[in-house]
Amino acid sequence: MRIAVVGSGYVGLVAGACFADLGHEIILVDNDQRKLEALRNGQVPIHEKFLPELLTRNRGTRLQFSADLKEAVRLSAAIFVAVGTPPTQSGEADLSYVESVAREISGGIEDYKVVVEKSTVPVYTSDWIRRIILRNGTDPECFDVTSNPEFLREGTAVTDFLFPDRIVIGCDSARSAEVLREIYAPMTSGSYYRRPEAIPQPDRGVIPPPLIVTSTKSAELIKHACNAFLAMKISFINAVASVCESVGANVNQVVHGIGTDSRIGSRFLNPGIGYGGSCFPKDVMAFRAVAREHGYDFRLLDAVVEINEEQRVRFLRKVNSALWTLRGKQLGVLGLAFKGGTDDIRESPALAIVQSLLQQGSKIVAYDPAAMDRAREVLGDQIGYAASSYDAAQGADALLILTEWEEFANLELERLRSALKYPIVIDGRNLYDPEVMAGQGLTYYSVGRAASHPDGVPGGLLKNGKKA
């Protein structure tokens, strides 16, 4: 099937590349000529596993790039709208880009088309898209508007798309549902997974994935409700971690105890410095705004946001407690992206903490495997940028771990201790065992667990593993 994907941002680029790999003919549409030219030349604008391979494999054959939306609509059976919906100051989703695309789509509809919301949008957006297209003179029998929310995690977006837990399609007509069933048939029939060139199956992959058909409004709500619930799990375990610190319990043991309950599960019960990125903060605020607009005060989401913000403050207090004063201290920082596996720094708790430390007079030398170029656009030369984890730690008064990159969990601890001026590690992602760190001569602070000190010596009294 020929499909137009409107928007070459994170969701649109991944969706277009994956649809092409399923065997469809894709026209990826964007009004940014520089971005289109870069994509045509083989440049990959985001750090995402398997995406470069899919773009290389399909570019110029099943995957084309265009700035002509009307022509792409005219040539395609389905049009996936994957443009940005950034938050307004009040927390509502800004739908101006969606509206602009809907107007332009109407000019290319000559026969039956299915317009698919792929962007994360509030309930009733499908009604507005239909209304806009009708206002521009389109025959109501020539199109349907549907919802197909994405559930992609940055860093694993390609495998999340091709090996999803479920595929949700929100359709209010049998005709549009049949078109979407056909689009996803290579996955739901299992035929894609039998191809030798298919992307490797992840550990949790469900083959074939179930296809869930709902009303359009239900599908619109599913995405917001899903992200709000996951954000709630993160805030919940961070609140539990705070209680653990107060009473002397170990949050990792608590997580194991409650996560093995099949009704709860262990995923997203990871204590740390809070959630960030382009989805959770925006979607929680948007869902709260939608509820409020329709007469429901979703106070639970207020608490989710409040706990998330407080978690960064608590971590900064931990840094202050470990070092007494921050002015003039040199701190090594591991991680600038909002999570491991991506170069995305949007709403990154790591970046927010770095900025707070700078305001308190600290000197920062940071390392991130993928996000330093993007961080440099925000921080400029306010911090130093290291070539490795050990370079970031060199001569530092303490090392802070702010992003859960796999390589940060596998450092050579003896080498790390030798690099540090004082052997203090403050871990915002709980990547290490406190007893192991103490055994390696490191004073170690984490989230929801008691601090550990080598030989019981308080932090700061050891220098390179020896008595100061």
The catalytic residue positions are: 279
- Cβ–Cβ < 8 Å for 339, 331: no
Token code pair at residue 124 = 């009733």
- Cβ–Cβ < 8 Å for 223, 151: yes
CA dist 209 and 188 (Å) reads 6
Token code pair at residue 41 = 């030349």
Question: Which amino acid is located at 182 in the chain?
Answer: E
Question: Which amino acid is located at 256 in the chain?
Answer: H
CA dist 258 and 265 (Å) reads 8
Closest CA to 155 of 202, 192, 86: 202
Residue labelled with tokens 């928007």: 7
DSSP E strand boundaries for 198-301: 211-214
Q: Could you give the 3-state DSSP secondary structure of residue 195?
A: coil
Token code pair at residue 44 = 């990959």
CA dist 280 and 259 (Å) reads 21
Report the number of secondary-structure helices (H) and strands (E) in the chain. 18, 16
What HEC string does 338-394 produce?
A: CCCCCCCCCCCHHHHHHHHHHHCCCEEEEECCCCHHHHHHHHHHHCEECCCHHHHHC
What HEC string does 31-76 produce?
A: CCHHHHHHHHCCCCCCCCCCHHHHHHHHECCCEEEECCHHHHHHHC
HSE on the CB side for 345, CA within 13 Å? 20
Closest CA to 236 of 297, 286, 308: 308
Cα distance between the two ends of the chain: 70
DSSP 8-state assignment for residue 456:
G
Residues contacting residue 76 through CB under 8 Å, at least 6 positions apart: 2, 3, 4, 27, 113
- Cβ–Cβ < 8 Å for 441, 405: no
Token code pair at residue 42 = 């083989």
